[in-house]
Amino acid sequence: MPSVPVYRGRFGAPEAERLLWRAGFGPRKGEARKLAALGLDGAVNLLTRPPRERLTGPKPRDSKGRGLAPADAWGHDHLWWLDRMVRTNRPLAERMTLVWHDWFATSNTGVGSQGLMLHQNRMFRRHAFGNFRNLLHAVTADPAMLLWLSGVYNTKDSPNENYARELMELFTLGEGNGYTERDVREHARALTGFRSEWKRGKGHVNFRFDASRHDAGTKTIFKKRGRYGWRASCDLCLRHPLHARFFVEKLWSYFVPTPPSASTRAGLEAIYKKGFQVRPVLEAILKHPALYTGPRMVKPPVVFTAGLLRALDRGIDTNAWVWLGEGAGQRLFYPPSVAGWDDERWLDTATYRARWAIANEALSHVTVARSKKGKAPKVPREAAKLVESAYRTLGNPSVRPQSRRAIAGFAKRALSDARSDWQKEEYPLLVLNATRQLIALSPDYQAA
């Protein structure tokens, strides 16, 4: 039986920090060091078998200081979920909820109900580490998905192929991978029967399966004949010989930026085939050497934002995170298409500018400035101590030597430009703020 390699190198604070960014939303101050003390096995076990959920810190508020109404108010759904990312003691469970949101990408643009999107979100969270078969069944019958991919309009008299196609193309097999157009049509027939009712002022309600709308005839799917229904349609995809490879490669891609080797992939497939369980595959990925010795991975915008707020111990207190997230390319509950977000666009010229704004807003609560009475706060005057203070504000994140030299060089040059007395008083404040911003926007902080 093929096996999956396990990382045997040093597991210190830098490695724990990378793990927390890949399998969560970055460390709070001191958290990487504490996780490292558990060793690799203990750290992964804590993440994949977390304690009872506990959200710590101040409850989220909007820009006017009011509590959130995630099912009703504009943008409050995004704020509500971002708050969970910031305050959770179960970071991997929340990160896996984000993975499933991208895997089964559903947008409120088509659903038109924040309440139904939140219902789907809670479903993803329940299945964070569970059985992929159970998750696929739950997604297929989920009200938001039934609206998003036309499941409620798929009847025996007028089959709709939207969900059938994506079921194979995006969710279980991969584009053009082991299925034909006939399989799409026959799956669509098997998936008929779901419906809802429209009530004025309430939208779609009472989602259910109605046997009178289902095509009970014989279908031929993957060259197999039977009177397949919607659950059988899902299971046929899961039993397809190409599904396991698709699953492990796609799950791997959320945690490691380079493809797995053939032997690693075979080992992960063997684990998965034992019963479609997500947790053991996930644990094997999180212990793999490629996660700790391979190239860095760009942080999605919401991960970058949540991580900054966690490091700064700041809660959700402004609506700005909605439009800033959208500007950076990721507004929660609004993926751009059924294919989810395109990771290659996280740092393009259109979205990177918003990251500057995100860092600026996150750091605004710790910005140093003169008081209203004109009194200047005490800050280091020497470049080295000033830079050390800036790193400390952000929880001393791991930064490569070349980046450290560049940031230190900036601080030294900027302070040396101070000539007059007022410049010597003011520049340390300005340089400290700018240095914090440079650390947060450094290549090292954008990727982990």
- For residue 202 the two structure tokens come to 């309430």
- What count of Cα atoms within 13 Å lies in the side-chain half-sphere of residue 173? 24
Answer whether 156's CB lies under 8 Å from 215's CB: yes
Whether pTM > 0.85 for this model: the answer is yes
CA dihedral 198, 201, 207, 212 (to 10 degrees): -20
Instruction: Name, in order, each residue with C-beta under 8 angstroms of 125's C-beta and a sequence gap of 6 or more.
Output: 93, 94, 97
- For residue 99 the two structure tokens come to 């993975």
Secondary structure string (H, E, C) spanning 306-335: HHHHHHHCCCCCCCHHHHHHHHHCCCCCCC
**DSSP states of 74-103:** TTHHHHHHHHHHHH-S-HHHHHHHHHHHHH
**How big is the chain by its Cα radius of gyration, in Å?**
25
Q: Which pLDDT does position 304 carry in this prediction?
A: 98
User: What is the residue type of 314?
Assistant: R
Closest CA to 107 of 405, 352, 335: 335
DSSP 199: E
Angstrom distances, CA of residue 173 to CA of 30, 127, 179, 223 = 41, 20, 8, 16
* 414-431 b/e (C-beta count within 10 Å ≥ 16 → b): bbeebeeeeeeeebbbeb
Q: What is the pLDDT along the chain (448 residues), one digit of tens a residue?
A: 788 999 999 999 999 999 999 999 999 999 999 999 999 999 999 999 999 999 999 999 999 999 999 999 999 999 999 999 999 999 999 999 999 999 999 999 999 999 999 999 999 999 999 999 999 999 999 999 999 999 999 999 999 999 999 999 999 999 999 999 999 999 999 999 999 999 888 889 999 999 999 999 999 999 999 999 999 999 999 999 999 999 999 999 999 999 999 999 999 999 999 999 999 999 999 999 999 999 999 999 999 999 999 999 999 999 999 999 999 999 999 999 999 999 888 999 889 999 999 999 999 999 998 877 778 788 999 999 999 999 999 999 999 999 999 999 999 999 999 889 888 999 999 999 999 999 999 999 999 9
CA-to-CA distance for 327 and 352, rounded, in angstroms? 9
Q: Which pLDDT does position 422 carry in this prediction?
A: 86
CA-to-CA distance for 370 and 209, rounded, in angstroms? 64
CA-to-CA distance for 354 and 76, rounded, in angstroms? 20
Q: Which pLDDT does position 2 carry in this prediction?
A: 83
User: What is the residue type of 27?
Assistant: P
The tens digit of pLDDT for each residue in 195-218 reads: 999 988 888 999 999 999 999 999
Instruction: Name, in order, each residue with C-beta under 8 angstroms of 74's C-beta and a sequence gap of 6 or more.
Output: 322
Angstrom distances, CA of residue 402 to CA of 14, 399, 409 = 16, 8, 10
For helices 181-190 and 230-238, the axis angle rounded to 10 degrees is 140
How remote is the C-alpha of 343 from its chain's centroid? 11
Domain map (residue ranges) of the chain:
13-61+69-293, 379-448
Instruction: Name the β-bridge partners of 194.
Output: 209
Q: Which pLDDT does position 375 carry in this prediction?
A: 80
**DSSP states of 250-307:** HHHHTT-SSPPPHHHHHHHHHHHTTT-BHHHHHHHHHTSHHHHHS---BPPHHHHHHH
Instruction: Name the β-bridge partners of 221.
Output: 224
Q: Which pLDDT does position 162 carry in this prediction?
A: 98
Q: Which pLDDT does position 374 carry in this prediction?
A: 76
CA-to-CA distance for 300 and 277, rounded, in angstroms? 26
DSSP 130: S
